[in-house]
Chains A and B, each alone.
Chain A
């Protein structure tokens, strides 16, 4: 049943903050390709086409006021991926960041996974606001002292310094994907994660970089039989054996890793039958799911296709429980959108903090 988004006329949307250049002349490398909040919402990571990650941090002072949000300021910037060249295939591997996912915070440092088309990297972001001073063998500027001039000994002490945020790569997970990685998702066990490309999904352990397990493979023996690709994948927030993946045909498959090592047979298949009154040559293209997200409770999942957002109850496979038409006015323009390729644009979606059914939708083309 279709319903207007956001509970009708009650919710007004506006920009609370705009970052970056507003002028038309934007460098290609600066185009943002992915955004992701961390679990607390204090940090916002953005990845761009140039392979950089910029992290914004919310101002601390205003956090206690629930009705007014603090501003976000740049916290850290680092080069995550560089362009690479695959000599065997004579192809350049783009440095564009496709996805960023934050790990749950366990100590003072923050960790995130960032990925381009082929390689996933684990980054540690740590703060340094103190430094040791008073070494015996080193001057303050770093030069070494002549040991013979040392007459007394002292214990170095930590003194405050300007905050420095350092990002360092801790793991590099490479060479496991033939096709372009479109999703990464961290498991609720906080030890493993999955990465998905067009035809395969791999399971990794965060500590092990030279090996991954293939858990889904939809590549047909004959490529001529290829009719469907994987578009997104996510682990269930509570069941560490369960994950879902969506396809270009508008289906979502739920898989249980306990069933078999290779989860080619789904446990559940979520698919809404095509509405005959809306049928067109472009039906399949607009049904292609571009994003899938579990609710925090794990009971529901949200999917985004070209024109709508659907909420599914995991207990019901044959249709969604709610459907929101996001830009229905485009339905009559599908031909033009097909001609200029805009019909292939992908959108993301996300739940708000409390999983309310009049959920907030954000999208980035």
Chain B
């Protein structure tokens, strides 16, 4: 450990990966530049915002303010683009080809739901800290993830990007787990979905992608956090 007050040597900074965006739309002469008070945003602005959202969520601990502002801006842009009959033929950035494809097909609800599920994952991670959670965190048990999204094709909006977004370590583990279990301080062993049975807990809509052993381990960690004693489940 360094002595107190000593300057440290400069550490090598990780290079921020540059956003792969074709910046032609910044040209003030271009027709679809989104400057002050445009009627309709260019799809590049939309793509840029989606990239920012991905980039933000890829952080190990996303800046919530940045995330919320980007999501709200994205919703605004998307709302203004929805009534547009046809978009100008713009080159989409290679990172999110599916976004432009699905743009016209998806509803606003789908976009909200996909962002919702991404924000949900955020809350899973945050909700597992050892910080004492206020009772306002309690959610009614049985609330399924993703809200009442009319179309579960929501996650398609972000396409293959979702997969690589969420399969790093902890984030992938929490994808299918109902938040309500972890937010609830008065959680008891009889709560649904916690019995280590071979079947999935009620309320889970998607087939669990994670290993059942991992799920058990996760449960045990949470049980330990909640200071409840449980016998180890039957081995599989």
Contacts of B36 in A (CB 8 A): 278-280, 331-332, 334
Extra contacts besides A223-B179, A279-B37, A281-B73 (15): CB < 8 Å: A52-B5, A86-B129, A88-B128, A88-B130, A175-B131, A178-B133, A222-B139, A224-B113, A224-B115, A229-B64, A281-B41, A284-B76, A338-B73, A339-B21, A339-B48
Beta-carbon nearest neighbor of A25 in chain B: B10
Report A21-55 residues with CB < 8 Å from chain B CB: 25-30, 50, 52
CB distance from A188 to the nearest CB of B (A): 25
A217–B183 Cα gap in the complex (Å)? 14
In the complex the two chains form, is B169's CB within 8 Å of A90's CB?
A: yes
In the complex the two chains form, is A178's CB within 8 Å of B136's CB?
A: no
User: Which residues in A have some Cβ–Cβ distance to B below 8 Å?
Assistant: 25-30, 50, 52, 77-79, 86, 88-92, 175-180, 198-200, 214, 217, 219, 221-229, 231, 248, 262, 277-282, 284-285, 288, 331-332, 334-336, 338-339, 341, 344
A334–B41 Cα gap in the complex (Å)? 14
CB distance from B16 to the nearest CB of A (A): 9
Segment with Cβ contacts to A, from B119-127, B187-195, B227-235: B119-127
CB distance from B212 to the nearest CB of A (A): 21
Partner of B147, one of A91, A224, A279: A224
In the complex the two chains form, is B35's CB within 8 Å of A280's CB?
A: yes
A344–B11 Cα gap in the complex (Å)? 25
Contacts of B116 in A (CB 8 A): 222-225
Does B162 sit at the interface, judged by CB under 8 A? no
In the complex the two chains form, is B69's CB within 8 Å of A285's CB?
A: yes
Contacts of B68 in A (CB 8 A): 226-229, 248
In the complex the two chains form, is B125's CB within 8 Å of A27's CB?
A: no
Does B7 sit at the interface, judged by CB under 8 A? yes
In the complex the two chains form, is B35's CB within 8 Å of A284's CB?
A: no
In the complex the two chains form, is A226's CB within 8 Å of B119's CB?
A: yes
In the complex the two chains form, is B66's CB within 8 Å of A91's CB?
A: no
Known: A224-B112, A248-B69. A89 touches B125 (CB 8 A): yes
A interface footprint on B1-29 (CB within 8 Å = 1, 0 otherwise): 00011011111010000010101001000
In the complex the two chains form, is B7's CB within 8 Å of A30's CB?
A: yes
- Of the candidates A52, A91, A178, A224, the one having the most CB atoms from chain B within 10 angstroms of its own CB is A224
In the complex the two chains form, is A277's CB within 8 Å of B37's CB?
A: yes
In the complex the two chains form, is B129's CB within 8 Å of A178's CB?
A: yes
A278–B37 Cα gap in the complex (Å)? 7
A233–B125 Cα gap in the complex (Å)? 25
Beta-carbon nearest neighbor of A177 in chain B: B131
In the complex the two chains form, is B123's CB within 8 Å of A223's CB?
A: yes
Report B60-98 residues with CB < 8 Å from chain A CB: 60-61, 63-66, 68-69, 71-73, 76-77, 80
Contacts of A231 in B (CB 8 A): 65
In the complex the two chains form, is B13's CB within 8 Å of A217's CB?
A: no
Beta-carbon nearest neighbor of A285 in chain B: B69
CB distance from B34 to the nearest CB of A (A): 6
In the complex the two chains form, is B61's CB within 8 Å of A91's CB?
A: yes
CB distance from B25 to the nearest CB of A (A): 8
In the complex the two chains form, is A219's CB within 8 Å of B136's CB?
A: yes
A331–B37 Cα gap in the complex (Å)? 11
In the complex the two chains form, is B120's CB within 8 Å of A224's CB?
A: yes
Report B166-183 residues with CB < 8 Å from chain A CB: 169-170, 179
In the complex the two chains form, is A336's CB within 8 Å of B26's CB?
A: yes
In the complex the two chains form, is A91's CB within 8 Å of B8's CB?
A: no
CB distance from B23 to the nearest CB of A (A): 7
In the complex the two chains form, is B26's CB within 8 Å of A281's CB?
A: no
Does B137 sit at the interface, judged by CB under 8 A? yes
- Of the candidates B76, B115, B136, B139, the one having the most CB atoms from chain A within 10 angstroms of its own CB is B136
